Amino acid sequence: MACFNPRKSFSNFDVDKLVRLAEIYAEDFDIGDLTVLPNELKSFVNRARRTPEFLGCTELGKVAEIMVKTNMNTSYQRVYRLIELTLILPVATASVERIFSAMSIIKTDLRSKMGDEWLNDLMICYNEKEIFRKICNEKIKKRFEEMKKRRMLLPKKLMIASSDE
């Protein structure tokens, strides 16, 4: 990914490493794409080095913006696709790590026989806790009671014993 760094007119640019990165994304780059990609990468960097909009550019996200503004995203479709994937990779990786971390908190040894559907529901609640905190408890109780007939309704006020008794 560092090979796409636009600092100092793409001084870290390395075609072979970028092609290897594209090979990881087999669903996005077929054999034909991988064959054409090295020449397209070289052509793109040569053109970017001569394009005034890229001068002083220090971020890959800005490179993608400039490509769209100058319509280079259509001329260099494979390069643009590789840039998009490179920009998404850190976000996708962090999200997945966050989910696995949450799963280790939810599915403990005591809950080892939990079904997939229940685990999924708990994962959503855990990962979207900011949204769930905004929901009033009374609304939750009412929704629960309306789901099916109950032998009795939930108590209107829960009695909480104080610690000084």
- What tens digit of pLDDT does each residue of 59-80 get? 888 999 999 999 999 999 999 9
Q: Are residues 55 and 118 in the same domain?
A: no
Q: Letter for the amino acid at 2?
A: A
Q: Are residues 19 and 87 in the same domain?
A: yes
By the 10 Å C-beta count (0-12 exposed, 13-18 middle, 19+ buried), 164 is classed as exposed
Q: Is residue 139 part of a domain?
A: yes
Whether the Cβ atoms of residue 1 and residue 21 lie closer than 8 Å to each other:
yes
Of these ranges, 11-15, 39-43, 143-147, the one predicted with the greatest mean pLDDT is 39-43
Q: Is residue 163 part of a domain?
A: no
Domain coverage including residue 117: 108-147
Mean predicted confidence (pLDDT) in 24-42 = 91
* Residue found by looking up tokens 């850190």 in the block: 90
Q: Is residue 58 part of a domain?
A: yes
Per-residue pLDDT at 40: 94
Q: Is residue 72 part of a domain?
A: yes
Higher pLDDT pick, 19 / 147 = 19
pLDDT digits (tens, 9 = 90+) for 77-99: 999 999 998 888 776 666 777 77
DSSP secondary structure, the chain, as one string: -GGG--HHHHTT--HHHHHHHHHH-TTT--HHHHHHHHHHHHHHHHHHHH-GGGTT---HHHHHHHHHHTTHHHHTHHHHHHHHHHHHHHHHHHHHHHHHHHHHHHS-GGGTT--HHHHHHHHHHHHTHHHHHTS-HHHHHHHHHHHS--SSPPPSS-----TT-
Q: Is residue 17 part of a domain?
A: yes
Q: Is residue 164 part of a domain?
A: no
Mean predicted confidence (pLDDT) in 141-161 = 68
Q: Is the pLDDT of residue 162 over 60?
A: no
Higher pLDDT pick, 114 / 70 = 70
Higher pLDDT pick, 31 / 12 = 31
Higher pLDDT pick, 80 / 128 = 80
Q: Are residues 36 and 82 in the same domain?
A: yes
Q: Is residue 28 part of a domain?
A: yes
Q: Are residues 118 and 84 in the same domain?
A: no
Q: Are residues 67 and 123 in the same domain?
A: no
Per-residue pLDDT at 165: 43
What does pTM read for this prediction?
Answer: 0.57
